[in-house]
Structure 1
Amino acid sequence: MSLLNELPVAVIGAGPVGLAAAAHLHERGLPFVVLEAGDTAGAAVREWGHVRLFSPWRYDIDAAARRLLDGTGWVSPDLDALPTGAELAADYLQPLAALPALKPHLRYRARVEAISRLGLDRLRTAGRDQTPFLIRLTDGREILARAVIDASGTWGTPNVLGSSGLPARGEGAVTAFLEHALPDVLGADRDRFAGRHTLVVGAGHSAANILLSLAELAAAEPGTEVTWAIRSASPARTYGGGDADALPARGALGSRLREHVDAGRIRLLTGFSVHALAPVDGRVAAVVRHADGGEESVTADRVVAATGFRPDHSIAAELRLDLDPVMGATRALAPLIDPNEHSCGTVPPHGVDELAHPEVGYYAVGMKSYGRAPTFLMATGYEQVRSVVAALAGDWEAARDVQLELPETGVCNSNPADPAAGDSCCGPAPAGKGLSTGVSGGLLATPLNLVTLDVAPSGQTGGCCGS
């Protein structure tokens, strides 16, 4: 065995996909270390702990992770129950991380600052593939690894409010009024929204769920106002498939939102893009441009940017990455996940070959692998790491036997080229695709969208179509 192969595989991130990678590495007998920036497993998941998933427990657990847990006397939750993020972390991720097979290999408060090759910058080619990866942490520690599985996600890098991919003018000056991702509207963050006017920007499931929470708050707290702004001309995409959705909790989301809009409890602005933001008398004024070129100003107390997330590849700046210039995913994966052509239910099976970069041994998996595409599913991440780990173990037959199954659902198909489809991403998966929820080995896993982890009055999450 070469010195390189005696080094561990470094997994970045101890969330659902990172811990699934660790479970598969353990099963394959490969040495590994998991580097988690937080102080516990599932640190990012715990930040949306008040949110409830759309999919029941039977879909939320990786196959290798379940095998490890089942062998320890772990009591599985009710497989038909819908867990919150806090329950996912406490009842699955934490017990998994505490197993003797994984615990000694986890390093908490280990934030990765940069990844390179030992003694080689990006220009050096000779001997590169046989040179260990050098992983530098923010505290100065350095770790050598034979391969890197980057499951760090995109939670820390939300998209901006500006519609051109750039921050709106003045966006940096009004951060005190902005909310990103998933505020706990009905719980810990209630006082910031009760009796105030909130502007929610975004057309994905995060926006929908936040709007439903705000509508419930408005019914209990006089003076609470809710405005919803979307770039498209129609909210049909957000309303989704209703009764056609394979996950009933998710299908009901759009139906409830439509009821609130139709009743006037939520004011809807369409063809809306944020041009500028400015503080005005303790509030924030958003100057918006409409599709016809006209402008207006909307003044609110809080602005929720439910606009999704984007990857940060800066830690891998000294590696040879081949990123699609549009998606920010690998060139091989980008056309399979392009949201102009696909949504989560129509993404073809993919594994190690589609995730590979010219930098041999480096793989971005999970949400980060999708770049800016807002349609990632947790089930996809589980199958990605199964395939990657099989390849690292030299089992290329298993690595290339990708069995990705995704939900036939009312909210997982888009056909932007079809004018009759409007702005909807809703409709059954195309015939012949054979798509249903699942991961390797047939074990079903959650179609949880980690781009837009969604909030409803009941705190439900797991939609596939992002902002």
Structure 2
Amino acid sequence: MHLPVAVIGAGPFGLSTAAHLRALGIPVRVFGDPMVSWRDHMPAGMLLKSTPAATNIDAPQRGHTLVDFCDAAGIPRLVKDDDIIPIETFIAYGDWFQQRLVPELERVRVVSVDRRGSVGPGSASVGFELKLSSGELFTARAVVVATGLSGLAHLPPELAGAAPDGPSPVGPVSHASQHHDLSRFSGKDLMVVGAGQSALETAALATEAGARVRVVVRGRGSVGFGTPPWEQPRFRPQSPFGRAWSLWALCYYPHPYRYLPAQLRHYLVRHVLGPLGAWWLRDRFEGKAEITEVARIIRADAPDRRPVLTVRTDDGRTRQLSADHVIAGTGYRVDIAAMDFLSPELCTELAVSRGTPKLGAGYCSSVPGLYFTGLPAAASYGPVMRFVCGTQFASPRLARHLAASDL
């Protein structure tokens, strides 16, 4: 049987996985718009927090690193830890990688994925049935879900009161992923909720676009920035994320991560390399945006479509903060229920932990032939799966496992 493998998603993890499958001679069909999350859901002018070493999309053969792209494009090489990568350069790198290694990419959407029935009593499954936005139905031997951040934007429940129909760029409350052009807030009062890179860079870009920005964070001293590369300890192992034994282990030895207790795994995913601004963002942020530290946000309302946050301060008092718009820079949360292309029957079969798929060897889920890579794999393989450099570990292992599977 020569059924293809379906790879859903054409970001770094989808493209890298497809390239490795093709190198093993496995028929593959890849669906999605290349680098769409980076192209459409990140702000113009954004700079990547990751270093060049942490930004290579893994390929099965030499010649496809970020440096190789720079050489091919005739632009200065990005190699040092203090080299900063514009998002436009990274998108162009992803497009170049796709054109060279995944040229057969199909720019259609997968509408549904369902398990095909068995061919007889005691027989094995014959794969998955996929429906495309083009109307085509076809059978795949296996399915790799590599949809990145799509559909996983997290809006805390305390902000939902001002956005009963969900976050929207034209409503009172939006998510940071919904803004490509922040110049629309020029001359307006903007509140940004969050203390991570997404929130702080959104605030910096908005102030540079002429907005009056207040950043609302929970906890005193919550706004922090990374240490410049030249100030990091020299006698600790180097990793793509900095010099630390813990980061080195999580980057290069994520194999045993899935055997840790579930509570610890989920904690590490959220807190290792958690909310922190890039070292180079400090000068663009400090003194430009107002910071309001609160004990917690109680609720959000939107009388006359103008958002008002009710917060509790550290001294126990209640205070109201208002603006023309609120942007939630509150990150992403994996939830199988948000992957609406998976049939209800498949979702019922999947073993999950706090909404994330439980993955075994080779990134395979509890449903044989259904694989997850990228952010949905972080709860099983660690924080490295939140970053592009995670492709170096994930893609070859997933491809080899799938090639060896009797599907």
Which TM-score band (shorter chain)? Answer: 0.7 to 0.9
Pairs within 5 Å for 1:320-339: 320-324=349-353, 326=354, 328-331=355-358
- Structure 2 CA distance, aligned partners of 1:136 and 1:371? 28
- Structure 2 CA distance, aligned partners of 1:250 and 1:301? 25
Judging changes above 3 Å, is the alpha-carbon distance between structure 1 residues 179 and 313 closer, same or farther for their aligned structure 2 residues? closer
Pairs within 5 Å for 1:154-165: 154-163=149-158
Which of residues 84, 87, 101 in structure 1 aligns to 2:86? 84
Q: Deviation string for 1:130-188 (max 9, x for gaps)?
A: 3111112244322211111110122333111324xxx5323226842333225768xx3
- Structure 1 CA distance, aligned partners of 2:5 and 2:294? 48
Which of residues 123, 126, 131 in structure 1 aligns to 2:126? 131
Give the equivalent residue in structure 2 for 1:12. Answer: 8
Which of residues 185, 189, 214 in structure 2 aligns to 1:197? 189
Give the equivalent residue in structure 2 for 1:102. Answer: 102
Cα offset, 1:273, TM superposition? 1.4
Q: Deviation string for 1:330-380 (max 9, x for gaps)?
A: 346xxxxxxxxxxxxxxxxxxx61732221111111023236998712212
Q: Is the 8 A contact 2:174 2:328 kept in 1?
A: yes
SS in 2 for 1:198: strand
Which of residues 204, 208, 221 in structure 1 aligns to 2:200? 208
Cα offset, 1:117, TM superposition? 1.6
Which of residues 30, 39, 42 in structure 2 aligns to 1:46? 39
SS in 2 for 1:11: strand
Judging changes above 3 Å, is the alpha-carbon distance between structure 1 residues 291 and 115 closer, same or farther for their aligned structure 2 residues? farther
Pairs within 5 Å for 1:210-229: 210-217=202-209, 221=210, 224-229=211-216
Percent of residue pairs bearing the same amino acid type: 25
Give the equivalent residue in structure 1 for 2:55. Answer: 60
1:31 matches 2:27: yes
- Structure 2 CA distance, aligned partners of 1:393 and 1:380? 20
- Structure 2 CA distance, aligned partners of 1:94 and 1:116? 30
What TM-score, normalized to structure 1? Answer: 0.64
- Structure 1 CA distance, aligned partners of 2:283 and 2:121? 57
SS in 2 for 1:315: coil
Give the equivalent residue in structure 2 for 1:301. Answer: 324
What TM-score, normalized to structure 2? Answer: 0.73
SS in 2 for 1:79: coil
SS in 2 for 1:94: helix
AA at the equivalent of 2:24: R
Q: Is the 8 A contact 1:310 1:371 kept in 2?
A: no
Which of residues 379, 383, 404 in structure 2 aligns to 1:394? 404
- Structure 2 CA distance, aligned partners of 1:68 and 1:389? 20
Cα offset, 1:259, TM superposition? 3.6
- Structure 1 CA distance, aligned partners of 2:351 and 2:144? 16
Q: Is the 8 A contact 2:298 2:311 kept in 1?
A: yes
Cα offset, 1:290, TM superposition? 4.6
Q: Deviation string for 1:69-118 (max 9, x for gaps)?
A: 58xx964451325332222222x22222223x5212x110x222221122
Cα offset, 1:53, TM superposition? 1.5
- Structure 2 CA distance, aligned partners of 1:162 and 1:234? 23
> Gaps spanning 5+ residues in structure 2: where?
234-240, 244-275
Which of residues 299, 324, 327 in structure 2 aligns to 1:275? 299
Give the equivalent residue in structure 1 for 2:94. Answer: 93
SS in 1 for 2:6: strand
Cα offset, 1:63, TM superposition? 3.5
- Structure 2 CA distance, aligned partners of 1:146 and 1:183? 35
SS in 2 for 1:107: coil
Q: Deviation string for 1:29-88 (max 9, x for gaps)?
A: 11101011x3xx212211225322134545422332663658xx9644513253322222
> Gaps spanning 5+ residues in structure 1: where?
333-351, 397-467
Which of residues 295, 308, 315 in structure 2 aligns to 1:285? 308
SS in 1 for 2:352: coil
Cα offset, 1:230, TM superposition? 1.8
Give the equivalent residue in structure 2 for 1:404. Answer: none
AA at the equivalent of 2:341: I
Pairs within 5 Å for 1:354-369: 355-369=363-377
Give the equivalent residue in structure 1 for 2:253. Answer: none
Judging changes above 3 Å, is the alpha-carbon distance between structure 1 residues 390 and 269 closer, same or farther for their aligned structure 2 residues? same
- Structure 2 CA distance, aligned partners of 1:102 and 1:168? 40
Cα offset, 1:306, TM superposition? 0.4
Judging changes above 3 Å, is the alpha-carbon distance between structure 1 residues 231 and 330 closer, same or farther for their aligned structure 2 residues? same
- Structure 2 CA distance, aligned partners of 1:154 and 1:383? 19
- Structure 1 CA distance, aligned partners of 2:383 and 2:403? 31
Higher helix share: 2
Q: Is the 8 A contact 2:192 2:329 kept in 1?
A: yes
Which of residues 165, 175, 178 in structure 2 aligns to 1:180? 175
- Structure 2 CA distance, aligned partners of 1:31 and 1:278? 52
1:314 matches 2:340: yes
Judging changes above 3 Å, is the alpha-carbon distance between structure 1 residues 274 and 207 closer, same or farther for their aligned structure 2 residues? farther
Q: Is the 8 A contact 1:23 1:68 kept in 2?
A: no
Judging changes above 3 Å, is the alpha-carbon distance between structure 1 residues 58 and 157 closer, same or farther for their aligned structure 2 residues? closer
AA at the equivalent of 1:199: M
Judging changes above 3 Å, is the alpha-carbon distance between structure 1 residues 235 and 251 closer, same or farther for their aligned structure 2 residues? same
Judging changes above 3 Å, is the alpha-carbon distance between structure 1 residues 102 and 226 closer, same or farther for their aligned structure 2 residues? closer
Q: Is the 8 A contact 1:241 1:254 kept in 2?
A: no
